[in-house]
Amino acid sequence: MKLYLDTANIEHLQAGSRFSCFQGVTTNPSILFRANNNRFKQLQAILETIEGLLFIQLVGETYEAMLDDFKRIKAFKGNNPNIVYKVAIDEIGLQIIKAIKKDDPENLVLGTTIYTIEQVILALSVGCDYIAPYYNRIKRHKKGDPNKLIQQARMLIDRESHHCEIIAASFKTVDEVVDAFLMGAHSCTISYDIFMAMLEDEVVSNDLKQFNLDHQQMMKQHP
């Protein structure tokens, strides 16, 4: 069971790096746009801030454009084994994944924008190392039940012994993250705000305050 941070915000990444629970960082074009920086300068800043994997999504409206973007990301990647290519599971994306794996079978690929079990089947058939079901967006766009999709995906992966990890994405609440894990997601990628919400619990805070008060009283009475 793993967690990733879904952000390009350096302050959030620095804050998250205080904890040992994150295995890396996921990005997409919208997340990078919000960082208000040159794409590869921001990606380099992320690499200098974190440990673990960095997921970078290919962009382009045609096969040729996406292939060109793969080459740009490959040049940025160099010999770094921690870069993962993110590719949408659609007609062009499947062809691009074939090209990425042909370039080097060791290239790591995440199949993204997963809404349906059909996309899961296609992603597994082309050898994706990771898949990213869009949990909240599946509900929001009335594309089905994200819990059922994760269960079905995990069943296929386990039954066929695929070396593929489900990284559930697109969360709006802590409960959604919990449900994704309970349904069989190997990992979840979450915003820094969701992570902080997972840490917030008034009952726990009150218990700790009382423990500290009792300790202070004990030290006064029995120095």
Buried b (16+ CB within 10 A) or exposed e, 172-182: eebebbebbbe
What is the pTM (predicted TM-score) of this model? Answer: 0.92
Count CA atoms within 13 Å of residue 72 on its CB side: 15
What is the predicted pLDDT for the residue at 163? Answer: 94
Per residue in 149-191, pLDDT (tens digit) is 999 999 999 999 999 999 999 999 999 999 999 999 999 999 9
Per-residue confidence (pLDDT) for residue 209, from 0 to 100: 80
The amino acid sitting at 46 is: I
10 Å Cβ neighbour count for 105? Answer: 8
Q: In this structure, are residues 80 and 56 in contact, taking their beta carbons and an 8 Å threshold?
A: no
Query: Looking at residue 203, what is its pLDDT?
Result: 76
CA distance 116 to 143: 7
In which residue ranges of the chain is pLDDT below 50? none
- Enumerate domains of the chain plus CATH numbers: 2-221 (3.20.20.70)
Tokens describing residue 11? 């302050």
